[in-house]
């Protein structure tokens, strides 16, 4: 039942060979029309639905191995495919079909005094390396977003999902064989060792960019070892600062939503900063509501004191403030005002999403101007930092770096530009 891996002498040989194949395919893929690419994506969506039974069988091998190894239930749940989930993944591919193709747009067109016509146009990045963990949906999402933008892709998923990914890529490549997109544009690294991922990080000239998706350790390894350019995604230590003049109901509603609507994701809140005058009055209510929602609290001395008997709160350490919990845990720190809140965010934030709740437009403007983050919010939950919520559709990740793209990364993040210069014999004097 298990799909057999091709044999390579070394993980490095596999990474290099597959990246070379992807690069060759990228040249012909780059010049396809939107219609040709959408047609290939539609075939992919259909194949996923038609071959659901095979996918479930392959997935069951991974699940069984996971159960045998004592893998945590939450990880097994992320790994698990069901007919509904496969239908959802296919529907995701159709959503990508519906998005506008960002390739081939004219960014600007200039005629120079010497008669040169310079046109800057959008082009695919080329070959994208994706390094991720055991979520099979990422395999298909990434493939769809890359192919739609005319990019070849080398996928390297987690070993826990290997049989599922092998089958998924077999299904996707099978679908491409009846389309104008070369099947070689889609490559899966089959060696599950760390060495294969590390080899990808050094493939300058073959890979144009690496996008890591996963936990902090995976992302750190990519940042520290890649010589290929990287788009950093995901780490989120996000704050909500409640100013003294905030509406208490609004502040509580936003804070609860930012913490518990989905604690496992990067745009959820890890630390709540309360103005001291606000905290003095409202801390017991906030502490009780968080406890009620199942949130474990850690607090600064003032936060603990103001909470009184409403909730027992552990002392928060510097390390707590620097931790991305992704869980039902929250730090609450009482601060003197805006400046102290800005300092805390500058020190502990990961430049992802930061919020102020205040009745003052002036205070809000100072916060929005001065906080250095991909998304800065006034009176709304940080949970909105997301491609769908911003109206961009599917995203390949959320960039927390400043180069190339910042925040939700939709299709345009997978393009570059090129200058086409047309002359009639011009030379430089």
CB-based contacts of 195: which residues, under 8 Å, 6+ apart? 10, 11, 12
H or E element, residue 187: strand 186-188
State yes or no: residue 254 binds a second copy (CB under 8 A).
yes
User: Among residues 244 and 354, whose Cβ is nearest to a second copy?
Assistant: 354
What is the token pair recorded at 165? Answer: 């990914």
Of 92-100, 133-141, 288-296, 416-424, which part binds a second copy (CB under 8 A)?
416-424
Of 137-145, 185-193, 274-282, 362-370, which part binds a second copy (CB under 8 A)?
362-370
Closest CA to 126 of 16, 206, 220, 233: 206
To a second copy, the closest distance from the beta carbon of 83 in angstroms equals 26
Residue 200 near residue 176 (C-beta atoms within 8 A): no
Closest CA to 48 of 184, 155, 140: 140
State yes or no: residue 209 binds a second copy (CB under 8 A).
yes
Site for a second copy in 107-166 (CB under 8 A): 110, 112, 116, 118, 123, 125-126
User: Among residues 301 and 419, whose Cβ is nearest to a second copy?
Assistant: 419
State yes or no: residue 377 binds a second copy (CB under 8 A).
yes
State yes or no: residue 421 binds a second copy (CB under 8 A).
yes
What is the token pair recorded at 200? Answer: 């990808």
Integer Cα distance of 95 and 40 in angstroms: 14
Of 91-99, 134-142, 220-228, 286-294, which part binds a second copy (CB under 8 A)?
220-228
Of 57-65, 72-80, 219-227, 276-284, which part binds a second copy (CB under 8 A)?
219-227
To a second copy, the closest distance from the beta carbon of 271 in angstroms equals 18
State yes or no: residue 100 binds a second copy (CB under 8 A).
no
Give me Rg for the CA atoms of the chain. Answer: 24
CB-based contacts of 67: which residues, under 8 Å, 6+ apart? 76
Alpha carbon dihedral 301, 305, 307, 312, in 10-degree steps, equals 70
| 3-state SS, residue 329 | strand
CA–centroid distance for 379 within its chain:
24
Which of 33, 64, 106, 204 is in the footprint of a second copy by CB under 8 A?
204
Beta strand spans in 82-134 (E): 106-111, 117-124, 127-132
Integer Cα distance of 318 and 337 in angstroms: 19
H or E element, residue 242: strand 238-242
C-alpha distances (whole Å) from 260 to each of 185, 292, 296 are 40, 11, 11
User: Among residues 91 and 343, whose Cβ is nearest to a second copy?
Assistant: 343
Of 71-79, 235-243, 318-326, 389-397, which part binds a second copy (CB under 8 A)?
389-397
Of 39-47, 91-99, 307-315, 382-390, which part binds a second copy (CB under 8 A)?
382-390
Which of 374, 394, 396, 409 is in the footprint of a second copy by CB under 8 A?
374
Which of 370, 395, 397, 409 is in the footprint of a second copy by CB under 8 A?
370
> What is the contact surface with a second copy in residues (CB under 8 A)?
27, 30-31, 110, 112, 116, 118, 123, 125-126, 204, 208-209, 223-224, 227, 229-232, 247, 250, 253-254, 256-257, 261, 346, 364, 368-370, 372-381, 383-385, 389-391, 401-404, 406-407, 416-428
């Amino acid at each position: 039942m298990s799909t057999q891996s091709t044999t390579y002498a070394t993980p490095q040989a596999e990474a290099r060979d597959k990246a070379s194949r992807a690069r060759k395919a990228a040249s012909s893929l780059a010049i396809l029309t939107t219609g040709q690419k959408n047609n290939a994506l539609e075939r992919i969506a259909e194949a996923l639905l038609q071959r659901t039974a095979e996918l479930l069988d392959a997935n069951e091998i991974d699940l069984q191995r996971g159960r045998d190894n004592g893998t945590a239930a939450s990880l097994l749940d992320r790994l698990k495919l069901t007919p509904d989930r496969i239908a959802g993944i296919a529907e995701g591919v159709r959503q990508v079909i519906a998005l506008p193709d960002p390739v081939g747009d004219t960014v600007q067109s200039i005629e120079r005094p010497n008669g040169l016509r310079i046109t800057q146009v959008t082009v695919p990045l080329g070959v994208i390396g994706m390094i991720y963990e055991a979520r099979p949906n990422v395999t298909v999402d990434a493939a769809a977003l890359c192919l739609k933008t005319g990019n070849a892709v080398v996928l390297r998923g987690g070993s826990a999902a290997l049989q599922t990914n092998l089958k998924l890529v077999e299904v996707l490549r099978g679908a491409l064989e009846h389309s104008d997109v070369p099947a070689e544009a889609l490559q899966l690294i089959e060696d599950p060792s760390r060495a294969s991922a590390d080899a990808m990080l050094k493939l300058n000239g073959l890979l144009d960019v690496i996008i890591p998706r996963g936990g902090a350790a995976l992302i750190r390894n990519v940042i520290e070892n890649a010589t290929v350019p990287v788009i950093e995604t995901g780490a989120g230590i996000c704050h909500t600062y409640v100013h003294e003049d905030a509406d208490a109901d609004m502040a509580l509603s936003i804070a609860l939503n930012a913490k518990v609507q989905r604690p496992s994701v990067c745009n959820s809140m890890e630390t709540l900063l309360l103005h001291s005058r606000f905290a003095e009055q409202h801390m017991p209510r906030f502490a009780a509501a968080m406890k009620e929602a199942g949130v474990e609290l850690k607090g600064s001395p003032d936060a603990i004191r103001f909470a009184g008997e409403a909730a027992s709160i552990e002392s928060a350490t510097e390390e707590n403030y620097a931790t991305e919990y992704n869980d039902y845990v929250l730090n609450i720190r009482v601060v003197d005002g805006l400046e102290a809140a800005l300092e805390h965010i500058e020190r502990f934030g990961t430049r992802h999403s930061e919020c102020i709740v205040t009745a003052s437009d002036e205070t809000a403007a100072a916060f929005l101007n001065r906080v250095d983050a991909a998304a800065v919010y006034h009176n709304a939950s940080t949970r909105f930092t997301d491609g769908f919520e911003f109206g961009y559709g599917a995203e390949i990740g959320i960039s927390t770096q400043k180069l190339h793209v910042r925040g939700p990364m939709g299709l345009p993040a997978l393009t570059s530009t090129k200058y086409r210069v047309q002359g009639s014999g011009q030379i430089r004097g």
